[in-house]
Structure formats: structure tokens, C-alpha cells
Structure 1
Amino acid sequence: MERRNQRELIPVQPVTAGLITAVVGFSSSFALVLTGLRGVGADRDQAVSGLLLLCLSMGGLAVWLGLRYRQPISIAWSTPGAALLATAGTPAGGYRAAVGAFVICGLLLTLTGLWPRLSRIVAAIPAGLATGLLAGVLLPLCLAPVQASFHLPGLMLPVIAVWAALLRWARRWATPGALVALLVVLAVRTPLHLGGAAGSLLPRITLSAPAASWSAVIGIALPLYVITMASQNIPGIAVLRHFGYHPPVRPVLTATGLSTTATAFGGGYTVNLAAITAALCAGPDAHPDRDRRWIASVTAGCCYVLLGLTAGASATLLTQAPPQLVEAIAGLALLPTLGSALSSALAEEKGREAAVLTFVVAASGVSAFGIGAPVWALAAGLALRFLI
């Protein structure tokens, strides 16, 4: 009996769930985060700084919120937001304008926490349009594995084979396994050269002064805010409620907004409630007792802090791979999200045409008057829905 009680005092199950959450969450999308930041004009050091600050922010918030409220409140970066950045292009004004857009997005998230009516306005956007917008943003990246398979078959096809096998037998490890397979293939086909890069393996914070740019605000800040709310925060709250929790919505949104605003100067584009990995900490696999599952999210937070220290090494390894392969790994990671978004966008017959229009305009990548495709997509979808 005494030994049993000692075992119960050691929270092995939630700690293990937290470790898995952090490792899977980081390894499955850190390449996309780096690609997204580079896509809006960041150089290597600025992208590494963003990845480091995101990990530190996610970890710190998860630990504080978990200990404060004793709930498995998982914090993540916006994976769909990173996909948006990867396809947005460098705004007028360069990376500094993108930093200004990150600050605006953080302020909007903070305002959402302080003024709940704003979150209700975002929630009022028809679900089909929001998910159609998300699917359109993701599609260009999800095409990258197909393109890489034809242009670099010797490198990409073994990676896809590993990904498909793990998707069948160990689904949560599919993308991390594909990343490991890519590194192995690169090491065999084109040996990695890390000489002289020892100093770059240690991440450091690189701050940039924000610049004012209306095109960046409209083309990056507003779509980033809408996508983060619609595909991360709102579903994240729904996941916690599904498992019987009542998350403190206003404090969480305010904290993530303030954190985004503070870290934006160093490339931290968005932190928010986890949606994709939230169930790993909040579900029964984390612990049979709901009152002990918060240990999983706190453990994940501690792991994110440690993983952030590997940002420099991660970026250095990825620079050894052709950019097309890095985008292909990100595309493999986003395929399940794309499938879910398309399914949701087309689920209801009413308004389906508007959802499809939103999807195709967002996927087109068109830009006019300095305004990117996501804004035009949402505007077109809302106009058609109103019309019919």
C-alpha cells in the first residue's frame, strides 16, 4: 500500500504527456515558423530570435497559467499564422513593417481579452468562411511536398515514405519522423557541413524597431489576428470545455496578447491557446484524474523553454537542406489541418459557395493596392454570402 501511494505521488503519466506535447508541437512546425519569418523579410538571426522568444513565451505562459488556475491550459504559436506569413511575402517597408504588424496583432489580441465583445465579433464570422480562409492559406504550402517529389525525388520520396508509414502506425510522430528522415537523407546524400557554425548554434535575441505600414497592417496584422482567433483561440477554448474545464478566457487572451506585443520586437509573431495539441494535455490520456492534468501543460511549458535554446541549432540544420524541402516538410505537417479545414468549410450546404469562393481567392495569392489575398478572400466571401 505504501509503495502504491508513493507511485501515485510521482505524476509519471501527465509528465510524459507534457513531454510528448512539447516535442511533437515543436518538431512538427518549427520549420514552418522559421520559413514564415523568413518569408516576411527576416534574416537568419531574426528568424532564430523569433523562434526563441516564441518558445520562451509559450513556456512561461503555460507554466504560470497552469499553476495559477490548475487547468491544462496549453499555449502554442499560431501554426496557421506561420503559414500565412510564409505565403504573404515581404511587405512594403521590409521586416520592420512585419514587426509593426506583429505588434498590432498583439494589441488586438490584448483588446479581445479586455473587451469580450470583440471576440464575439470574430466568433460571428461564419465558420465556413473562416475555415475556407484557413484552407486557402494552407494550400500553397501543402502543394510543396508534391512539387519537391518531382523536382528532388531522391531526397523527398524517402521522407514521404517514412511520413506515410508513421501516419499509419504512430500518427502523432509522423511529422517529427519525417524531419528526422530528411536529416538522415541529407547526411547520406549531401553530408552536413557545420564547420565554423558553432557560434550560430546558440540562439540570441535580435530586436528590430517596428515600422508603420498600412499594407502590412491590412495584409498581415488583420489576417493574422482573424486566423489566430478563428483557428487557435476559439477551438482551444472549445477543446478545454469539451473535457470539462472552464478556462479563464479573459485572463488567457489578455496574457497571450500582452506576450505577443512584448515579443513582437524580437520576431514573436503570435502566441495563443493551443488547438492542435491541446487534447494531449487535456484529455484522459494525460491522467485519469482531471484535477491532475494541469501537470501535463506545465511540463510542456518547461520543455518549450528548453527547446527554445535549440533554436540556433535547428535553424543551422535546416539551412543545410534545399528551401523546397523545408517547405515540403511544413506542407506534410499541415496536410491534416488542411483536410480538417476543407471538411469544415464544406460541411454545411448553406453558404457553401461563399466558403469555396473564400478558399479559392485565398489560395490564389492575389494582391492589389498592397492588400494580400487573405483580406480579399474574406471580403469576397462575406459579400457573396450577404448577396445570396
Structure 2
Amino acid sequence: MVERREWVRPLTAGLMAAVVGFASSFAVVLEGLRAMGASPGQAASGLLALCLAMGLLGAVLSARLRLPVSIAWSTPGAALLATTAAPAGGFATAAGAFLVAGLLVVVAGLWKPFGRAVAAIPGTIAGAMLAGVLLGLCLAPFKAIGAMPALALPIVIAWGVMMRLNRLWAMPVALLVTVAAVLIDGSAAAELPAGAPLLPHLEVLMPVFDGQAIVGIGLPLFLVTMASQNVPGLAVLRANGYHPVPGPLFVATGAVSMLAAPLGGHAVNLAAITAALCAGPEAAEDPRRRWLAAVVAGLAYVVIGAAATVATVIAATAPPVLIQAVAGLALVGAFGGALTAALAVPAEREPALITFLVTASGISFWGIGGAFWGLLAGGVFWVWLRR
């Protein structure tokens, strides 16, 4: 009985991590890809590419290192894309920026001075930039209530109830209520294109490299992914007694992100929330066996990826305000954490607030979005006050 339980716990923990990881944030990823100009087919390809990337990479790294290394897509990065204007060159230009962001992660893993320079960005400034990026999406659920109360209010209520009962399942339940609301409403079904492909497929596009897109999309995507995903992911592993060498992990996630970019994927990175499920005691009493949970989660992501096209078609036919509402609910916790980090140091609050306000304003110059200008403005003011 004991031996059987030792196998069941990693299995159930890994499956839960994959289901929760996908269901809680795939709407954010789709919203981000669509904001970058992706067609439904390209968005479905990007979602599938990300599932394959994080699933296979997580399983391989965990099995090879015998550590519970969980890989996830960059949810804050997707939120950044959702609040950034599409580049003039369309989705191919966005894919070029994705590829450069992955390259920067590789460089951060290989070249220690560059990695240290990125780590030297004040946590208050990084948190403020992320909070500014997330603000617009986090307002979406409440705007949806005003626009479509009959459909949006049950979603928010279901999310709130599950936050009280079981926070882990709050977003999957909210997603189920969203699907039910769309089916009951019936108006979206008429928009389903005849003969829409439902089988999983990948679409390859040739990335286009544009300076404005690299600065306005690629650089902020890299910074958000590193500060909000890779660093917390390492912290989760260390908190559970695991101490991997960061450089090779960054190189691996950056390289796989580069491979996913021509298929429409924006970025993969070390997981944080799902990593806690696989690296904690829930996965196994013996820490030496918890890597099995991360392998199961990775393989489960590959299987779940088969539903990427169906999920994209449903999202494409649903009222956009509902998809934005679900994406916003998924990011409430991340917004709270980012805002807390931004205001954590009293002496740095003014630079952090400038970063937050400039980023949230959506200001744009020369095709470069607010995230870059917010980081620049807050960073300059931070240096000015310290001098």
C-alpha cells in the first residue's frame, strides 16, 4: 500500500499541475497572441507549440536532473502582449520579437555579467512595470459585468466562491462557467466558421525582425519573463530544498522559446505556482521522488496540447469581453503580488509609481509601447534620486 501511494501521489500532483496550469491562464495566452495580430490558426499553433515546448522540456530536464523542474508559458509575458499594440508588420514581426526575447534569455544564462545586470534591476521597478501591464486586463472582469451582466456576473461569482473553497481550482471553475455561458447564450455559435479545423496543427511563419518591435515587445517580454517567472521559479525550487545551477536552465528555456517563436509561441520559462505543486510535499514525501511529478506534468501538457485548436475556436467565437474577463481574473493574484513588490521599499515608491503610471497609461512613441517607457522613466528617476 505504501509503495502504491508513492507512485499515486506524483501522478496526481503532476496531472493537477498540468490541468490547473493550462486552464488557469490559456485565455491570457490567446488574448496576447491575438493582440499581436495572430489569426485563429496561428493562435492555435502558438498555443500548441507552447504546450509541446513546456511539456517536453519540463519532462526532459526533470528526468535528466532528477529535480522537479516545472516549465510554464510566460503568463505575464502574454499579459504584456495583450496590452501592447500589434506591430506594423503583423504577427510575423511579433514572432521576430519573440525570438529575440528567447535569445536574450540564452545570453543571460551564458554570459554572467549580462545576467547580473538584469538581476540588478530594482525589484520595485520590475514589479511596478508588471503591475502597470496587468492593470488593464485586471479591470476587464468588472467592465464585462457592466457590458454583459447576465454572462459575466456568474463567471465572477463562481471565481469568488471557489477562491473561498479552493483557490487552486478557482480559475478552472470560472473557465467552465464561461464555456457554459457561451453555449447557453448561443449567439457565438453562429459565428463558428464552417469547416473550421479542430485537429491540432502547427503553422510555421518566417519571423521578421524590426527594431521597434524588438525594443517595444521583445525587450519587455524578456524582462517580464526573467523577473516574474524565472527568478520566482528558482525561488520555489530553493524553498523546497533544491538548488539547480540557474545558467543551464535559462539557456534551455531560452533556446526552446526560440524554437517555438516561428510556430507562434511567445516564451516558456521556469514555473512558479505549478512548480510548488510538483516540488512540495504533495508530490511525494521523499524529496528524491518529486521529480516524477514534474515529468508527469510535462507529459500531460503534451496531451492537453491536442485540445489547443478546439480551445482557440471556442475562444474565437465567444464575445471578446468574456475572454478578457477570464484572462483578467487569472491575473488578479499576479497583479497583487506585483503591486506589493512595487511598493515594498518606501524610499523607492516614487520611481515605482512613475513606472506603474507610465506603463499603465499605454503611452507609445515611435511604435514602442508603454512597458518600455515605464521601465525607462522609473529607472531614470530611481537613479536621479539615489544620486
| TM-score relative to the length of structure 1 | 0.96
1:183 Cα offset (Å)? 1.1
Measured in 1, the distance between the counterparts of 2:195 and 2:253 equals: 33
Contact conserved, 2:236 with 2:276, CA < 8 A, in 1? yes
The amino acid of 2:202's aligned partner reads: I
Q: Corresponding residue for 2:180? A: 184
Measured in 2, the distance between the counterparts of 1:322 and 1:252 equals: 39
1:286 Cα offset (Å)? 1.5
Q: Corresponding residue for 1:39? A: 35
Contact conserved, 2:364 with 2:370, CA < 8 A, in 1? yes
Is 1:105 the counterpart of 2:92? The answer is: no
The correspondence for 2:250, drawn from 234, 253, 256, is 253
Measured in 2, the distance between the counterparts of 1:192 and 1:173 equals: 26
Render the CA deviation track for 1:320-360: whole Å, top value 9, x for unaligned: 21001101100000001101111111111011111111111
1:187 Cα offset (Å)? 1.7
The correspondence for 1:28, drawn from 24, 28, 31, is 24
Q: Corresponding residue for 1:271? A: 268
Q: Corresponding residue for 1:134? A: 130
Q: Corresponding residue for 1:235? A: 232
Q: Corresponding residue for 2:169? A: 173
Measured in 1, the distance between the counterparts of 2:3 and 2:208 equals: 56
Measured in 1, the distance between the counterparts of 2:152 and 2:307 equals: 25
1:198 Cα offset (Å)? 6.0
Residues 196 and 346 of structure 1, relative CA distance in 2, 3 Å threshold: closer
Contact conserved, 1:73 with 1:247, CA < 8 A, in 2? no
Secondary structure in structure 2 of the residue aligned to 1:351: helix
Q: Which runs of 5+ in 1 are unaligned?
A: none
Q: Corresponding residue for 2:343? A: 346
Render the CA deviation track for 1:43-92: whole Å, top value 9, x for unaligned: 11001000000000101001100100111100000000000111111112
Q: Corresponding residue for 1:66? A: 62
Contact conserved, 1:67 with 1:298, CA < 8 A, in 2? yes
Once the two structures are overlaid, the 10-residue window that deviates more, 143-152 or 200-209, is: 200-209
Measured in 2, the distance between the counterparts of 1:67 and 1:55 equals: 18
Measured in 1, the distance between the counterparts of 2:94 and 2:306 equals: 24
Q: Corresponding residue for 1:375? A: 372
Once the two structures are overlaid, the 10-residue window that deviates more, 180-189 or 99-108, is: 180-189
Q: Which runs of 5+ in 2 are unaligned?
A: none
The amino acid of 1:277's aligned partner reads: T
The correspondence for 1:117, drawn from 108, 113, 116, is 113
Contact conserved, 2:42 with 2:264, CA < 8 A, in 1? yes
Q: Corresponding residue for 2:160? A: 164
1:319 Cα offset (Å)? 2.0
Once the two structures are overlaid, the 10-residue window that deviates more, 244-253 or 160-169, is: 244-253
Measured in 1, the distance between the counterparts of 2:109 and 2:269 equals: 12
The amino acid of 2:102's aligned partner reads: G
1:184 Cα offset (Å)? 1.1
The amino acid of 1:143's aligned partner reads: L
Is 1:89 the counterpart of 2:79? The answer is: no
Is 1:311 the counterpart of 2:339? The answer is: no
| TM-score relative to the length of structure 2 | 0.96
Measured in 1, the distance between the counterparts of 2:193 and 2:212 equals: 39
Measured in 2, the distance between the counterparts of 1:351 and 1:67 equals: 42
Q: Corresponding residue for 1:364? A: 361
The correspondence for 1:323, drawn from 301, 306, 320, is 320
Contact conserved, 1:110 with 1:254, CA < 8 A, in 2? yes
Measured in 1, the distance between the counterparts of 2:223 and 2:155 equals: 33
Identical counterparts, % of pairs: 50
Is 1:222 the counterpart of 2:216? The answer is: no
Measured in 2, the distance between the counterparts of 1:382 and 1:191 equals: 47
The amino acid of 1:28's aligned partner reads: S
Measured in 2, the distance between the counterparts of 1:232 and 1:21 equals: 16
Render the CA deviation track for 1:132-154: whole Å, top value 9, x for unaligned: 00000000000100100001000
1:276 Cα offset (Å)? 2.6
The correspondence for 2:295, drawn from 285, 298, 319, is 298
The correspondence for 1:289, drawn from 270, 286, 289, is 286
Contact conserved, 1:74 with 1:273, CA < 8 A, in 2? yes
1:104 Cα offset (Å)? 0.6
